[in-house]
Structure 1
Amino acid sequence: MTAMTRLSIVFLLLFSCSVALGDSLPPPQGPVILSISGEIKRTNVGDEAHFDRTLLAELPRHRLDTSTVVTDGINRFEGYLMRDLLAQVEARGESTVALALNDYRVDIPLTDFHDYDVLLADTMDGETLTPRDKGPLWIVYPRDEHRELQDIRYDYRWVWQLERLEVR
């Protein structure tokens, strides 16, 4: 295979990927459990990105075993890396406001999601999270892996019952 042929194949693949991704996400088919607004490029409902469980499941799944300040012992969380989710919507900005079902809100620097493997958890200890037990989504930091994350200012960023992110 010549260098020109290889180069042509690479350009064709890149073009195909960009056409497949497009500027919009597929619309949610089930109940929306997370909405993202603000400084994002990829949307599916007006100028927002709405996710149901199926759309979230398109992201790579990750596992995190860590302690929390609101549960006993070490818990096993599963879900999606926040940086993967924000890359999916092509988020631009310096921070995000995380809003929960109970009206709790907190600013989180986007650098947290790049510096640490912060999880958007949808299960804890093998059980699907529901609004009765901190779900459907919970922002979980790998606090046991990084001493600096055991500081109270990070504890405030563990948003359970997450329903919305506003990228600024």
Structure 2
Amino acid sequence: MPFRLIHVVAFSCVLLFYMNSFSSAEQLHSFTPSDRLPISGHLTIKTGNSVREVALADLETLPMHEVTASITVEEPIKTFEGILLRDVLAYLGALDAEEITVRGNDAYAASIPQKDWKTWPVLLATRSEGKPLTLRQRGPARVIYPMQDFEELNHRRYRNRSVWMVQEIQW
């Protein structure tokens, strides 16, 4: 019987040690993405039966623009830099598409109608405050509507179209 008790005590000690080593948020913080590490990336472009990859670095050779915005209540207003969605779509050969579907790597997808990119300076942001977007900033690319500049965009419909962690564009 004492032999079994020793095993139970030893197992309990190991279990407590394991649980305590992961109980603090500070210790778990090391498992979350860093604000300082940019994500290199590319987008998957799907048109009909065609699939191709486009590097974000290639898109950043197009004229860059800024939009100051806050997409969610918990996110502060920031300056985002990137390429106008209409310029991205012209580069991809999709400027005349009726709508596109933008999908994030979290499987969230939103349809963006042509009217949006032709009416407003909707941005495919790749940077914030001059630095590449990190995963924590919902990068490597985000669709940003200029809600602070156009009152009519401050609506749930446009917030829902503000896809983050963009990995795919399809039309």
TM-score, structure 2 as length reference: 0.70
> Cα distance, 1:32 vs. partner?
4.7
CA contact under 8 A between 1:99 and 1:106: conserved in structure 2? yes
CA distance in 2, matches of 1:156, 1:137: 16
Q: Number of residue pairs matched? A: 131
CA distance in 2, matches of 1:87, 1:140: 18
Moved over 4 A (4+): none
Which amino acid in the other structure matches residue 117 of structure 2?
A: F
Match of 2:147 in 1: 143
| Structure 1 position 75 matched with structure 2 position 78 | yes
Which amino acid in the other structure matches residue 126 of structure 1?
A: G
RMSD: 1.8
Match of 1:35 in 2: 44
CA contact under 8 A between 2:71 and 2:162: conserved in structure 1? no
| Structure 1 position 64 matched with structure 2 position 58 | no
Match of 1:117 in 2: 121
- Among all aligned residue pairs of Structure 1 and Structure 2, give the percentage whose two residues are the same amino acid: 32
CA distance in 2, matches of 1:156, 1:32: 23
Match of 1:166 in 2: 170
CA distance in 2, matches of 1:49, 1:158: 23
Which amino acid in the other structure matches residue 127 of structure 1?
A: K
Which amino acid in the other structure matches residue 149 of structure 1?
A: L
CA contact under 8 A between 2:125 and 2:144: conserved in structure 1? yes
SS of the aligned residue for 1:154 comes to helix
> Cα distance, 1:64 vs. partner?
1.2
TM-score, structure 1 as length reference: 0.71
CA contact under 8 A between 1:32 and 1:50: conserved in structure 2? no
| Structure 1 position 104 matched with structure 2 position 80 | no
CA distance in 2, matches of 1:118, 1:137: 13
CA distance in 2, matches of 1:155, 1:97: 15
Q: Cα gap change, 1:130/1:111 in structure 2, threshold over 3 Å: closer, same or farther?
A: same
Match of 1:47 in 2: 50
User: After the TM superposition, which of the residue ranges 134-143 and 47-56 deviates more from structure 2?
Assistant: 47-56
CA contact under 8 A between 1:121 and 1:137: conserved in structure 2? yes
